[in-house]
Amino acid sequence: MEIIDGNAIAASIIAELKEKVAARPAGTEPPCIAFIRVGDDPASVSYVNKKNKTAAEIGMATRLTLLPEDVSEDKLNAAIDELNADPAVHGILIQAPLPRHLDEVRAFRRIAPEKDVDGLGTMNLGKIAQDDDSGFVCCTPAGIMELLRRSGVTLSGKHVVVVGRSLLVGKPVALLALQKREHANATVTVCHSRTADLAAITRQADVLIAAIGIPEFIKADMVKPGAVVIDVGINRVADPTRKRGYRLVGDVDFPAVSPLASKITPVPGGVGPMTVAMLMRNTFKAWERVGR
Amino acid sequence: MEIIDGNAIAASIIAELKEKVAARPAGTEPPCIAFIRVGDDPASVSYVNKKNKTAAEIGMATRLTLLPEDVSEDKLNAAIDELNADPAVHGILIQAPLPRHLDEVRAFRRIAPEKDVDGLGTMNLGKIAQDDDSGFVCCTPAGIMELLRRSGVTLSGKHVVVVGRSLLVGKPVALLALQKREHANATVTVCHSRTADLAAITRQADVLIAAIGIPEFIKADMVKPGAVVIDVGINRVADPTRKRGYRLVGDVDFPAVSPLASKITPVPGGVGPMTVAMLMRNTFKAWERVGR
């Protein structure tokens, strides 16, 4: 069994980007990513800080728009429109989740497709279905595909089973694995909470992608020996032995499943860091595209 | 075994639309659909004629733009732009396939999303992934879902297996069956030419959707007894006993598979007529939306 080291793979992507940004012509502006954060949810604060820090480390410029928890849709739209119109901004990310009174899908769609580096706008999602790589692939699915590629996992003809049908992970990663291109061409099954006899399906997976958001949901009897297991979950479970009172676990019961798997991602340190690296790569692509 | 009568279901949808169009306020214009056909491929001529005839039967206005086989992308774009800008036109359909020198995905994308009644533009495809029904669902997948619904087939928790990963059928119907909504909520597998041991997967299907474009590809040993079988294929096979020299067969070996199935669509007379009916329904929706 091999542990797929997402931290190391992400670090090498970030190092590559840093080099490329540093190598830009003297006197030109670096890529600039703008974050919009609504409210002060601690997880959102921490995610935006992490992304901001990584961007700075690469040498990118960053902007941060903070909006109050009760901001109106009109005001959120105005903030998006302003960044859309600003030629100094190359990428825009709205940190999810938004408060309940705001419609995430509409907010993501409002970002100009050429600045939608989070890849959750309708146009960029549609491009995935069209096997069209002129857009931005949403970051977590892109990170999963990159982890598989850099770990030498070939998907062609293999059975990929995705547990979870979210817009952020399950559906786009299914479409990516299905594309007619090298490093894809998989047979793909998407299952979820309504699936009858889930274990019978997950046990068929050559590559199992768990993105259902339930701590340690995938048990040993749901995994075929030798499968590659990608754990997308990041769940906090109470743990009084830790100073902060919780620990992070994935959607996979790692101690039980890892002995069975040929390769597996840990939580933390698997898919998570790749999501940030893919966001940076998309921002770099957006910047390259406008010709600096 | 029950044969799902696509002709009858399509006819009832068309009759409903005809009534609704006739009931519009006196002096107002009916829905108008514009067809763009490039070249004189006999199948394309026949499809456009059929759609045009059905639109006329419903009381819709129609337009036809004919472009030569060797038309440039610029001229095609100009034709699309003109129809996009014309407030009298509610829906636009570019008949596929386009000649090889033209990029279909780019052409579909150029149609204004609010007139893209064929639903193959990037924005409307992305909306399917987002479970957002404000757009237009592409016609063949919409027709399949409607056939299943009107035949009393519930998908929730069932295993839907789609054979074929095309942009026109396989991928969008998979996304539709996966949506979190009544008449969907299925577990979905998409398999295709690269799939290892295809029969082992198709035999798991509670609902099998064949859209691979190979005559009579699905044989009896690939189908679970009691499955619902939807045949999307329309293939011409040589038949000297017919006056026109060919007959139409689906992707399913109907004589062998139909005794096993609980319900099955015939070819012709199954999915085909539904595609046209859904195009008409989308055009009606586009017209309603602009407030006549």
DSSP of B87-114, one letter per residue?
TT--EEEEPSPPPTTS-HHHHHHHS-GG
pTM of the full structure: 0.96
Select from B105, B171, B195 the Cβ nearest to the Cβ of A175. Answer: B171
Select from A167, A187, A188 the Cβ nearest to the Cβ of B130. Answer: A167
Q: Name the residue of chain B whose CA is nearest to A206's CA.
A: B196
Number of H helices, E strands in chain B: 10, 11
Highest mean pLDDT among A39-48, A237-246, B115-124: B115-124
Residues B14 and B156: their CA atoms lie apart, in Å, by 28
Question: Helices marked H in A73-214 — which ranges?
Answer: 73-85, 104-110, 122-129, 139-150, 170-178, 198-202
**pLDDT reading at B145 higher than 60:** yes
Lowest mean pLDDT among A278-282, B62-66, B241-245: B241-245
**pLDDT reading at B269 higher than 90:** yes
Pick the CATH number of A24-112 from 3.40.50.300, 3.40.50.10860, 3.40.50.150, 3.40.50.460: 3.40.50.10860
Residue B291 pLDDT class (50, 70, 90 cuts) = confident
The mean predicted confidence, pLDDT, of chain A is: 97
Interface of B to A at Cβ within 8 Å reads 105, 121-132, 156-159, 165, 167, 171-172, 174-175, 178, 180, 185-192, 194-196, 201
Q: Name the CATH topology of A139-273.
A: Rossmann fold (3.40.50)
The 10s digit of each residue's pLDDT in A118-168 is 999 999 999 999 999 999 999 999 999 999 999 999 999 999 999 999 999
- Region(s) of chain A under CATH 3.40.50.10860: 24-112
For a pLDDT cut of 70, what percent of chain B falls above it? Answer: 100
Contacts of B205 in chain A (CB under 8 A): none
Rg (CA), chain A: 19
| Rounded average pLDDT over B159-184 | 97
Contact A178 B190 (CB under 8 A): yes
Residues 6 or more apart in contact with residue B160 via CB below 8 angstroms: B174, B177, B186, B187, B188, B189, B205, B206, B207, B208, B209
ipTM of the complex: 0.95
DSSP β-ladder status, B207-210 and B228-231:
parallel
Say whether domain B139-271 belongs to CATH 3.40.50.720. yes
Contact A156 B194 (CB under 8 A): yes
Sign of the torsion angle spanned by Cα atoms A201, A207, A213, A218: positive
Select from B130, B171, B185 the Cβ nearest to the Cβ of A122. Answer: B130
Interface of A to B at Cβ within 8 Å reads 105, 121-132, 156-159, 165, 167, 171-172, 174-175, 178, 180, 185-192, 194-196, 201
Contact A180 B165 (CB under 8 A): yes
CATH no. for B29-112 = 3.40.50.10860
- Region(s) of chain B under CATH 3.40.50.720: 139-271
Residues B196 and B199: their CA atoms lie apart, in Å, by 9
Select from B125, B157, B158 the Cβ nearest to the Cβ of A130. Answer: B125
Contact A122 B121 (CB under 8 A): no
What confidence score (pLDDT) does residue B158 get?
97
- Helix (H), strand (E) at residue A284: helix A271-289
What confidence score (pLDDT) does residue A141 get?
98
| Rounded average pLDDT over A40-60 | 96
What confidence score (pLDDT) does residue A75 get?
98
C-alpha torsion angle, residues A65, A47, A58, A175 (rounded to 10):
-100
What confidence score (pLDDT) does residue B29 get?
95
C-alpha separations of B288 from A33, B134, B284 in Å: 40, 13, 6
Residue found by looking up tokens 């009107």 in the block: B150
B253 part of the active site? no
Work out the minimum CA distance from B170 to partner chain A, whole angstroms. Answer: 10
In one-letter notation, the amino acid at residue A261 is A
What tokens were used for A80?
């998006």
Residues B12 and B146: their CA atoms lie apart, in Å, by 12
For A113, which DSSP code?
G
What tokens were used for A266?
């840990």
Contact B178 A171 (CB under 8 A): yes
Count CA atoms within 13 Å of residue A27 on its CB side: 0
- Region(s) of chain A under CATH 3.40.50.720: 139-273
- For residue A119, give the nearest of A279, A287, A270 by alpha carbon: A279
- Region(s) of chain B under CATH 3.40.50.10860: 29-112
C-alpha torsion angle, residues A34, A39, A45, A48 (rounded to 10):
-20
Residues B264 and B230: their CA atoms lie apart, in Å, by 6
Residue B277 pLDDT class (50, 70, 90 cuts) = very high
What tokens were used for B202?
């198709």
Q: Which residues pair with B2 in a beta bridge?
A: B263
Contact B158 A196 (CB under 8 A): yes
What confidence score (pLDDT) does residue A292 get?
52
Sign of the torsion angle spanned by Cα atoms A129, A135, A140, A144: positive
What confidence score (pLDDT) does residue B292 get?
52
Residues 6 or more apart in contact with residue B47 via CB below 8 angstroms: B95
Q: Name the residue of chain A whose CA is nearest to B167's CA.
A: A130
For A258, which DSSP code?
T
Length of chain B: 292
Contacts of A160 in chain B (CB under 8 A): none
The 10s digit of each residue's pLDDT in B45-86 is 999 999 999 999 999 999 999 999 999 999 999 999 999 999
Work out the minimum CA distance from A155 to partner chain B, whole angstroms. Answer: 10
